[in-house]
Amino acid sequence: MLANLLPCAVVRPCTQTIARKRTHAARRAFTLVELLVVIGIIALLISVLLPALNKARKASRTTACMSNLRQLAMAEIQYNMDCKGKFSPYYNGSGPSKFQIEWMAQVMKPIQLDKVRLCPEAQTPNAAWPESGNQPGTAFNCWGPGGQALTDPNDYTGTGPPKNGVGRKLMGSYTFNGYCLRLDDSGNNNTLCGNGQAKVPDFLWQVMPKRGAEVPVMADGTWPTAWPKETDAVPKSLYADVGTPPSLGIGNNWSRMVIARHGFAINVAYLDGHVITTPLPDLWQVKWHQGWSLDRPQTGPGGSYPPPAGAPTYGNAIDMNAVRAKLKDLYKGS
């Protein structure tokens, strides 16, 4: 009726406007192809960004680990100052001593360091090792809590040396440089100078060195203490003990520290408080003990205290090219 009453010129524009609106609405909708293209772009962006995000998360964990080590190193420096420049004696849980882990039991009450002792990359115990014995860690597992050696002396009420299943047990992801211990009548000097430990008494720092920035005190590791030597072989794995069953041997102390925890590196703290992320081959360049030399490593006399009589003996120069090649072959990362 309205069309009959109104002129054609009035009706036609309205019809054209409605048609244009319908066409515009249709154009606003996405086609299936367009949706697939958008999904493909999003998937591509995720694939590009995820590695970067994972890398950023790993970098964050490495930084947190460095902060932990810095706090532990500063605590050791404070202990050293309180003791007039002397390091702790060595105790192995036998005789009069009620503990073995000097750097935790003496530097600060262990319970105050529970979180600081754990690297973000290695916070859970090593499930492959029974808790009935001293429980070492791996590249991505902490050491403890199993074992009498890991007893918290502040929570031990038994008589005699520490025992399995008695008292609070400790966990951690860091390894103390065993050469930062000293000879003392109250300690177990013969064990400290054993072949698997310091071996040569002159290797021990005994007191705070003048150039503390060059002397490592603590690092990422799989056991509370280690005595690395130039002549120790490259470990068979950068991730975990490969023994069957695994063995917590100390014939090769590099196995306690040369681990791929932060990529192809570990963090190392020094006696001035600074911390460095150190590539695994460069650990051989660090001055772990007083006699450290890759060109002419001293091998004796030693193995007991007092040391056997005799002139110093020396081994062959360390082939660092062979060390680097072996480490690269063992590394499973990128």
What pLDDT is stored for residue 5 in this prediction?
Answer: 47
Check: CB of residue 54 under 8 Å from CB of residue 160: no
* Beta-bridge partners for 151: 169
Check: CB of residue 66 under 8 Å from CB of residue 265: no
Examine residue 10 and state whether it is found in any structural domain, yes or no.
no
SS3 content of the chain, % helix, strand, coil (to 5): 35, 15, 50
Examine residue 22 and state whether it is found in any structural domain, yes or no.
no
Q: How far apart are CA 193 and CA 181, in angstroms?
A: 11
Q: How far apart are CA 150 and CA 146, in angstroms?
A: 7
Question: Residue 174: pLDDT above 70?
Answer: yes
C-alpha angle with apex 331: 275 to 223, nearest 5 degrees? 50
Q: What is the pLDDT of residues 60-107, one digit of tens each?
A: 999 999 999 999 999 899 888 988 989 988 887 776 566 677 676 666
Examine residue 238 and state whether it is found in any structural domain, yes or no.
yes
Q: What is the pLDDT of residues 101-136, one digit of tens each?
A: 767 666 656 566 788 999 999 999 998 887 777 889
- Dihedral over alpha carbons 177, 182, 184, 189 (to 10 degrees): 50
More confident residue, 155 or 230: 230
Examine residue 60 and state whether it is found in any structural domain, yes or no.
yes
Percent of the chain with pLDDT over 90: 48
3-state secondary structure of 134: coil
- Dihedral over alpha carbons 317, 323, 326, 330 (to 10 degrees): 140
Question: Residue 253: pLDDT above 70?
Answer: yes
Q: How far apart are CA 93 and CA 98, in angstroms?
A: 5
Q: How far apart are CA 226 and CA 256, in angstroms?
A: 7
- Dihedral over alpha carbons 67, 68, 74, 80 (to 10 degrees): -160
3-state secondary structure of 221: coil
Examine residue 14 and state whether it is found in any structural domain, yes or no.
no
Mean pLDDT across 228-248 = 83
Q: How far apart are CA 182 and CA 176, in angstroms?
A: 13
The HSE-up count of residue 241 (CA atoms within 13 Å, CB side) is 23
**Contacts for 60-63: CB closer than 8 Å, 24+ residues apart:** 61/119, 61/120, 61/121, 61/262, 62/121, 62/262, 62/267, 62/277
pLDDT-derived band at 233 (thresholds 50, 70, 90) equals very high
In Å, what is the CA distance from 252 to each residue of 148, 173, 195, 233?
A: 22, 19, 10, 7
Question: Residue 208: pLDDT above 60?
Answer: yes
In Å, what is the CA distance from 98 to each residue of 92, 162, 189, 223?
A: 9, 6, 16, 19
Find which of 50-64, 163-177, 215-229 is predicted with most confidence, using mean pLDDT.
215-229
Query: Domain containing 127: what range?
Result: 39-330
Kindly state the tokens that stand for 67. 């902060």
Examine residue 11 and state whether it is found in any structural domain, yes or no.
no
Beta 174-177 vs 225-226: how paired, if at all? parallel
Q: How far apart are CA 171 and CA 136, in angstroms?
A: 10
Q: How far apart are CA 11 and CA 8, in angstroms?
A: 5
Q: What are phi and psi of 290, to 5 degrees?
A: -65, -30
Q: How far apart are CA 242 and CA 203, in angstroms?
A: 29
Q: What are phi and psi of 315, to 5 degrees?
A: -100, 180
Q: How far apart are CA 299 and CA 22, in angstroms?
A: 91
Q: Count up the domains in the chain and report the number.
A: 1
More confident residue, 258 or 105: 258
Residues listed for the chain = 334
More confident residue, 74 or 186: 74
Examine residue 295 and state whether it is found in any structural domain, yes or no.
yes
Question: Residue 200: pLDDT above 50?
Answer: yes
Nearest to 121 by CA among 76, 68, 75: 68
Examine residue 95 and state whether it is found in any structural domain, yes or no.
yes
